[in-house]
Amino acid sequence: MADHGTPRERPAPGAARAAAILAGVKTEDAQTEDANTVLFHADGRTGVVTLNRPRAINALTHPMVIRIDEALAAWADDPAVQQVLIRGAGERGLCAGGDIRAIHDDAKAGNTASADFWRDEYRLNARIARYPKPYVALMDGITMGGGVGVSAHGSVRIVTERSRVAMPETGIGFVPDVGGTYLLGRAPGELGTHLALTGTAVGAADALLCGLADHFVPADRLPELTAALAGAPAREVLPRYAATPGPGELADRRGWIDHCYAAATVEEIVERLLGQGEPAAKEAAETILTKSPTALKATLAALRRAVELGPLERVLAQEFRVSCNALTAPDLVEGIRAQVVDKDRAPRWSPATLAEVSGADVERFFAPLGEDRELRLPPPQGGLSRG
Average pLDDT, the chain: 91
Nearest to 165 by CA among 125, 212, 211: 212
Which of 47-56, 104-113, 179-188 has the least mean pLDDT?
Answer: 104-113
Q: For residue 380, what pLDDT band results from cuts at 50, 70 and 90?
A: confident
pLDDT given at position 33: 59
> What integer pLDDT is reported at residue 164 of this predicted model?
98
Among 12-16, 166-170, 272-276, 326-330, name the one with the lowest average pLDDT: 12-16
Sign, Cα dihedral of 115, 121, 123, 129: negative
Please give the positions annotated as active site: 98, 146, 169, 177
Sheet with 46-51, edge to edge strand ranges: 38-43, 46-51, 83-88, 135-139, 156-159, 215-216
**Is domain 15-166+211-240 annotated with CATH 3.40.710.10?**
no
Terminus-to-terminus CA distance in the chain, angstroms?
23
Task: Report which of residues 129 and 6 the model is more confident about.
Answer: 129
Cα–Cα separations (whole angstroms), residue 248 to 206, 209, 334: 5, 9, 33
* Residue 100 reports pLDDT greater than 60: yes
pLDDT beyond 80 at 18: no
Q: What residues form DSSP beta bridges with 158?
A: 138, 215
**Once rounded to an integer, what is the mean pLDDT over residues 66-84?**
97
Per-residue model confidence (pLDDT) at position 351:
97
Nearest alpha-carbon partner for 377 in 22, 121, 202, 17: 121
> Are residues 47 and 40 in contact, defined by beta-carbon separation less than 8 angstroms?
yes
Beta strands 83-88 and 135-139, pairing class: parallel
Identify the band that residue 385 occupies on the pLDDT scale cut at 50, 70 and 90.
low
Instruction: Kindly tell me the number of DSSP H helices and DSSP E strands found in the chain.
Output: 18, 9
Please report, rounded to a whole number, the percentage of residues in the chain having pLDDT higher than 70.
Answer: 91
How far is the C-alpha of 36 from the C-alpha of 11, rounded, in Å?
A: 10
136, pLDDT greater than 80: yes
Q: What is the pLDDT of residues 25-74, one digit of tens each?
A: 233 344 455 779 999 999 999 999 999 999 999 999 999 999 999 999 99
Read off the pLDDT of each residue in 237-265 and give the average, rounded to a whole number.
Answer: 97
The DSSP secondary structure of 108-141, one letter per residue, reads: HHT-SHHHHHHHHHHHHHHHHHT-SS-EEEEE-B
Stretch 1-16: mean pLDDT: 38
Most confident of 10-24, 90-104, 138-152: 138-152
Phi/psi-derived region of residue 54, left when phi > 0, alpha when psi is between -120 and 50, beta in every other case = alpha
Q: What is the mean pLDDT of residues 366-378?
A: 94
Q: Residue ranges per domain, the chain? A: 15-166+211-240, 256-366
